[in-house]
Amino acid sequence: MQKSLTSLGALNWDDLKFFLEVARTRKASSAAKRLAVDYTTVSRRINALETALGTLLFEKSRNNGFILTAEGQRLLGYAESIESTLHLACEQVSGSGVALSGHIRMGCTEGFGSFFITPQLSHFLDTYPAISVDILPLPHFISLSKREADIVIALERPEHGPYVCCKLCDYNLRLYATRDYLEQHPSIHSTADLAEHRFISYVDDLAFSSELLYLANLLPGAQAHLRSTSVIAQYVAALQGRALAILPCFLAAQDPRLLPVLAEEVNITRQFWMYCREDLRKLKRITLLWDYIRETTELNRAFLLGESNVVGFID
């Protein structure tokens, strides 16, 4: 494609919205769905933007979809800055009513997102009914760079990127079993006795973080006859009374069917980190949810550490 000097008059700013969605999803069909238009509209708008800029922004591949060229990568940073600036400008000039409205997408680990964050969000939305939230409690890494979420709660602090990050909280995990299991299997008085028992655990080579490989650290060589990438699946399996499982206290302590085993000896502490893009952190709705999540995790510190089985909510 022949490059030429671009006139601002030839550039349709709305085309950048289409560019951003294609860059994030890598598929024109996915971008079309998110923008509520058809595939041909997305394709036409991308072609128009490339013509206006006089450069190729994507390499099209049958197998890999739309891959950003070097020029596309450079444009992506500017386009995201424009997008964030527009969001912030709307909040600043439209008054407090708009500032307390809008949409947020929050990514989170599966168990914490399902058993703690989701109930807390229900109370948050009672206070701010004009804000809507998508919660993505997924057993894999969620990308901020692709805008899969606006805020992420993860097991590990991001190593690099234009992010605002804070340690959210500590949480504990313990070894759990049903009463029936403990009554029908050899007694457990020390970690040495665990060698006679079966476990439920993660699929080691599919765990999205090394922080999840508790069993290997606790009992090297221990046999997990049932493994899953989902902590919720492990929790459900533990309830069947046929094996032991290391589970977060915020998930298992609420369930009277599960009892902690060797609570003093098997007490694993991990952390959650919360982060978002620097440009989004300035948005009022992001600030509101960010501060709320920090406040409610502090309120529930004892619950997350397994020192209480009662969840608290902010009035």
Q: Does 122 share its domain with 157?
A: yes
Q: Does 87 share its domain with 143?
A: no
Final residue belonging to a domain, choices 75, 94, 113:
94
Average pLDDT, the chain: 88
Q: For the segment 228-261, what is each residue's pLDDT rounded down to a tens digit? A: 999 999 999 999 999 999 999 999 999 999 999 9
Final residue belonging to a domain, choices 44, 73, 94:
94
Q: Does 68 share its domain with 142?
A: no
Q: What is the dihedral of CA 143, 148, 151, 152, to 10 degrees?
A: -40
Q: Does 204 share its domain with 107?
A: yes
Q: Does 137 share its domain with 36?
A: no
Q: Does 103 share its domain with 211?
A: yes
Helix (H, G, I), strand (E, B) or coil at 274: strand
CATH code (residue 88): 1.10.10.10
Q: Does 12 share its domain with 149?
A: no
How many domains, the chain? Answer: 2
Whether 113 shows a pLDDT value over 80: the answer reads: yes
Q: Does 228 share its domain with 314?
A: yes
Cβ atoms 286, 150 nearer than 8 A: yes
CATH code (residue 140): 3.40.190.290
Q: Which two tokens stand for residue 181?
A: 């299991």
Cβ atoms 61, 68 nearer than 8 A: no
Q: For the segment 261-291, what is each residue's pLDDT rounded down to a tens digit? A: 999 999 999 999 999 988 888 888 899 999 9
Q: Does 271 share its domain with 287?
A: yes
- Full domain range(s) for residue 242: 99-315
Asked whether residue 18 is domain-assigned, the answer is yes
Mean pLDDT throughout 201-226? Answer: 82
User: Among the listed ranges 19-28, 70-79, 154-163, 202-211, which one has the minimum average pLDDT value?
Assistant: 202-211
Asked whether residue 3 is domain-assigned, the answer is no
Q: Does 142 share its domain with 194?
A: yes
Final residue belonging to a domain, choices 94, 110, 144:
94
Whether 222 shows a pLDDT value over 90: the answer reads: no
Q: Does 194 share its domain with 311?
A: yes
Angle at 98 between CA 96 and CA 100, to 5 degrees: 70
pTM metric for this prediction: 0.74
Q: Does 56 share its domain with 148?
A: no
pLDDT for res 164:
94
Strands 131-138 and 151-154, by their bridges, are unpaired
